[in-house]
Amino acid sequence: MTKTQYNFALLGDSEIFEPYLSSELKKNSNLWKPTEFELPQNDPGLAAAFLTLTQPDAVFYAPRFSNRNSDLKNAAYLAALSQALETKDSLLVSWLKPVDDIPAFINCQYLFIRLPEVFYCSVTKNLITEWIDKILSRKRVTVSGNKPLRLIGRHLLVQMTAAAALKCLANPGFDRTYKLAANGETSLFELVGFIHSTLTRLLPNHNFAKLIFAEEEPVRLSEEFDTSFMENFNVILPGWRTGVEETIVAYLVHRKLF
């Protein structure tokens, strides 16, 4: 990590990335994280005016991922931030859904991270925690729809985003859009089977649901695993099992089951 002390601004709906994001950014920066009262999220013009005055080294914008209306607000917010940063050496950092296109109106230096199909954390409802609940609370569970998956845990995501942003600040040519996921592709059948076997190992005296797998061949992902993030930022991303196992342990500890 660089010893340079930057000025960072964290805007948008960062709750889904917390508590990791603020902690990671504070390691290498003075962090300004306004409250909704200080800077309403529905007022991109006010955010742009603030950036024009304060000129932070990097702006992290956490979009909302709920519905089409949120997508339109995210686009308006990003457009305003890009315009405010266009004539400065600042970096705009944000995240995209798997199917999102790169916004055409971005004219400043930017680092966009495209999320994989599964984005998870041990304390929020998501695919991993839903299957933990099912396996712990039912007698039998049918697993169907064997779709291919790439995954990433929240902690790894923000850790890699912050590290990449620091390198982009030092090397402007590295800024662009990257796909980021834990190493390797899996399927729903393989993922659920791994969650079940991990729970069985961690809680040997618990009665778990019996898994019944529908007869269905996995469908391969249409694209090869993108290694550009690892190559450009000189990191080795851990395999998907590592993060899932850590999430299961954290979930059990949080629920006082382990």
pLDDT truncated to tens, each residue of the chain (258 aa)?
445 689 999 999 888 898 899 999 998 789 999 887 888 878 888 988 988 888 899 999 999 887 667 788 888 889 999 999 988 889 999 999 988 887 888 889 999 999 999 999 998 899 999 999 999 999 999 999 888 899 999 999 999 999 999 999 998 888 899 999 999 989 999 999 999 999 999 999 999 999 999 977 767 766 778 899 999 999 999 999 999 999 999 999 998 887
pLDDT value at residue 2: 47
At 225, list the tokens: 């695993």
pLDDT value at residue 249: 96
C-alpha distance from residue 163 to each of 193, 210, 230, 235 (Å) = 33, 41, 12, 10
With CA atoms as reference, report the closest residue to 156 among 6, 13, 21.
21
pLDDT value at residue 87: 80
With CA atoms as reference, report the closest residue to 156 among 188, 122, 127.
122
C-alpha distance from residue 216 to each of 147, 193, 223 (Å) = 10, 15, 21
Q: How far apart are CA 58 and CA 90, in angstroms?
A: 5
pLDDT value at residue 1: 43
pLDDT value at residue 218: 66
Answer yes or no: pTM beyond 0.85: yes
Burial of residue 8 (CB within 10 Å: 0-12, 13-18, 19+) is buried
pLDDT value at residue 228: 92
User: Which helix (DSSP H) or strand (DSSP E) does residue 217 occupy?
Assistant: none
